[in-house]
Every structure is written in C-alpha cells, then in structure tokens.
Chain A
Amino acid sequence: MDNDDELQRLASEYVLGTLESAERVQVEQRLAREPALRVAVDAWELRLLPLTALAPPAQPSAQLWPRISASLTPAALRQAGGWQAWWNNLAFWRVLAGGAVACTAALAVVLGVQLQSPAGPGYLVVLVAPQDKAPGWIVQAGNRNALGKSNTDLALIPLGPTSVPEQKSLQFWTKGKDWKAPVSLGLVQAGQSLKVSLDKLPPMQADQLFEITLEPQAGSPTGRPTGPILYIGRAVKVM
C-alpha cells in the first residue's frame, strides 16, 4: 500500500474515531514525533469539525464546574507559575520594595498615634496589590501592650473592600526568612479585620513576608498558596 494512503487512512480514522484502543494510542504516540502525520490529522480535524454541531447541547449539572475547579489546584502547583515562582522572583521584590516603603511611610504617619501609645517595638506590614502596588490591607504585630507584656497577636486590617469571586476565599499567609514554605494564618473575610495568635510561630522578624491569595472556598487543599497573589508585603519594624 502506498505510504501516503496509509498515513491518510490512519489520520482520517483516528479523527473519525473508528480506530481501536491500541491503534489510537499508537497514533497519539506517533503524533509527537511525526510531523507528516500531525499535518494529516490537523487537516482531518478541520474538515470534520463542523459535524460537532449535529450533537444537541446538554446542560451540565451544577456540580460539574466546582468539581473541575477543585481538580485544578494540584496542576497549578506543578506549573512554573505557582507560588514559588513569585516568592523566589528577586526582580518582583525589588519593584515591590519601593512601593511598599512609600506606603509604609504614609501609613505610619496615619497610624502613628495608635502605634506609639503602648510603647515598645512592633511590626507593620502594608499588603499591596502586585500589579498596581495599591495598598489593600495592613498587618500590625508584635508591639507590647500597656503592661509591657509582649503581645503575640497579629491584626489584619482592611483598608477597603476586596471583591472575591463566587466559590472562592481569601487566605492569609506568612513566611519568615529561613522557613521552607509559607504558613497559613487562616481564611479572611473581605473587608473585615482578623486577629491571629502567633504563639505557635517563631517570633516576628523584620522583612517577614505576608500575603493574601485567592483560594478554593474551603481554603488551599495543599496547605500551600495555590491561587493568584492578591496582596503582598514585608514586615517593617516600627518603634
């Protein structure tokens, strides 16, 4: 049989769907390394594609998208664009640092009275949106209370509303300099303050990282940030 005839037969019946399982697998493996077969298959896909219009539409059940969405997370982690890419990107932090310092200075003035009153060093973090550096939240932590006792509570305070898509949640994370991975500080309600106890964590450090990511409704299933970073910032020591 002519080689081209055989190539066309394989390509056309692969697209049509009449090849048996074993032959289908073979064609799929050959596609990766045989450009001629790939071109033939592409041409057949294009020729027959209008026939998909003959299948009457069918409305998927309401559970299907949540199921798909829940399955995306491990795949997202495997991709290079996961949280590690952000976290390890030096250029990103350099750009961010300028904006964060400016925001911190501005907010420190606003918050000056509140921070000064109990006396003692504390930490302030301004969480900004990565794209436009707009501040969205502030974190206040580690300052001593009026009795001079070290306060291990951390307060996350919204500066404005954050819109959260349906079936999604905001999750709050932190990572110290020598930690292997970020630690979850819990889910956050948009526009609402959150108090978190830090007794289980090492003491706050200057430059400690904080971020809020968009995660599935019940929070990240992996214990690591999986969704896009909405707000991010570093701790700054304030007197």
Chain B
Amino acid sequence: MPAPTATFDYEAALRACARGDQQALHGLYQQESRYLLGVALRIVRQRALAEDVLHDAFLSIWRRAGSFDATRGSGKGWIYVVVRHQALNVARARTHEVGADEETVEALLHERQAEGGDSSDAYALQADMGRLHDCLGHLDEAKRNCILYAYVDGCSHSEIAQRLSSPLGTIKAWVKRGLASLRQCMG
C-alpha cells in the first residue's frame, strides 16, 4: 500500500460507488490498480490470474461499497483487504490442488534450493511501516520470514516449510508464536 495521497478521498469514492456512480469506481481503479495488482500478483503468482482477482475484487468493492463502515477502518485499507482476501481465496484453492501432487512439491523444493536458498533475510524492510517495522525487527529471522512469506507471497504453511527447508510442525509453531509476539509488541 503506497503512502496516502492527500488529494484522493477514498471514503467519498466508496460512498459514490454505493450510490451507483461508476465513475467513482473508475477513479479508485485509476488511483490504486497498479498497487493492488502488485499485491495480488505476489500472492497468486500468475499475471492472468492476478488480473482475474482484481476484476472480481472490483466487482466486490462495487457491490459491497454500501456496507463499508468507516468506524472499522479506512476506505483505502478496506479496498486492500478485499483484494488480498480475494487473492488468498484463489491461492488457497490452488494450494490444495498442487499439494496433492508430490512430484510438483519436490520440483518446487529443488527449484528453491537451486536459487540459493533463503537463509538470508527475505525482505529489505521499509522504514515507513512505523510500529510494525520495529516489532518485526524484534522477531528472530525465521519467524519474521514466516510472516512475510505468508502475508506478502501468500505462502501456505507447507510452502513456507519448503522455502525454509524446515518441518511443517516447526513452521506452524513459528507462525503462531511470531504472530503472538507481534500482537504483544504492537498492542
């Protein structure tokens, strides 16, 4: 999610969408589509699929704009949440298919290792994330990578296990403890 743009009123655009104003939805699209597609693309990993996600997410935004509640969060945040969960639904449905195929899992695993593994910190964290940045910094590297692989890349537990070459049970425990520490740190 890019830094907030002072001139664009996301809440007003959503209210206009709720009244059936298609120009308002187009305005949101012009403002955010390249960032939203970036988020979806990291999670579903195929361009055509990511565009399908964005298509379905914008229809969802259009239909549900009337139910947007500004007391629960910002309009901009709500749009990202809709797109991310649409992408996650697609990714999780596919994980299931891929998971049944042992050979594919093996092939993915070798591919990752050939790329040089993931022992180094997977992401250069940006400093403008405020408190989240500090709290992620307090986690050990393995837990931090679990959370980033899941949130940004849409990895399932077993995909993270492949990436970090660690047992599934260990990954599940790292994710759980990492999240609990984050909550304690951020409040």
Contact = CB atoms under 8 A, between A and B. Distances in A.
A196 interface: no
A201 interface: no
Interface stretch (B7-15, B18-26, B102-110, B113-121): B18-26
B169 interface: no
Interface string B24-61: 01100100011101110111000100110011001100
A79 to B, nearest CB: 6
Interface in B84-131: 84, 88-89, 91-93, 95-96, 123, 125-126, 128-130
Contact of B123 (A17, A54, A69, A76): A54
B59 A55 contact: no
Contact of B41 (A51, A55, A64): A55
B183 to A, nearest CB: 7
A20 interface: yes
Interface in B158-181: 175-176, 179-180
15 contacts: A8-B179, A17-B151, A18-B156, A20-B96, A21-B93, A45-B73, A50-B1, A52-B35, A54-B126, A55-B39, A56-B38, A65-B29, A68-B29, A71-B55, A228-B20
A48 interface: yes
A49 interface: yes
A71 B60 CA distance: 11
A76 B59 CA distance: 10
Nearest to A28: B85
Contacts of A50: 1, 128-130, 132-133
Interface of B: 1-2, 19-23, 25-26, 29, 33-35, 37-39, 41-43, 47, 50-51, 54-55, 58-59, 62-63, 72-73, 77, 80-81, 84, 88-89, 91-93, 95-96, 123, 125-126, 128-130, 132-133, 147-148, 150-152, 154-157, 175-176, 179-180, 182-183, 186
A79 B132 contact: no
A60 B33 contact: yes
A56 B1 CA distance: 10
A52 B80 contact: yes
A58 B84 CA distance: 15
B38 A47 contact: no
B11 to A, nearest CB: 16
Mostly, the A contact residues are helix
B152 A16 contact: no
Contacts of A227: 22
Contacts of A17: 43, 84, 88, 91-92, 150-151, 154-155
Contacts of A79: 20
A61 interface: yes
Contact of A18 (B23, B150, B180): B150
Given A60-B51, A76-B22, A47 B186 contact: yes
B25 A72 contact: yes
B36 to A, nearest CB: 9
Interface residues of A, number: 44
Contact of B148 (A20, A45, A54, A69): A54
Candidate in B20, B73, B133, B182 with the most chain A CB atoms within 10 angstroms? B20
A47 B59 contact: no
Contacts of B151: 16-17, 48, 51
Contacts of B95: 20-21
Contacts of A82: 20
Contacts of B39: 52, 55
Contacts of A57: 2, 34-35, 37-38
Nearest to A63: B51
B132 A51 contact: yes
Given A24-B92, A45-B81, A53 B34 contact: no
A180 interface: no
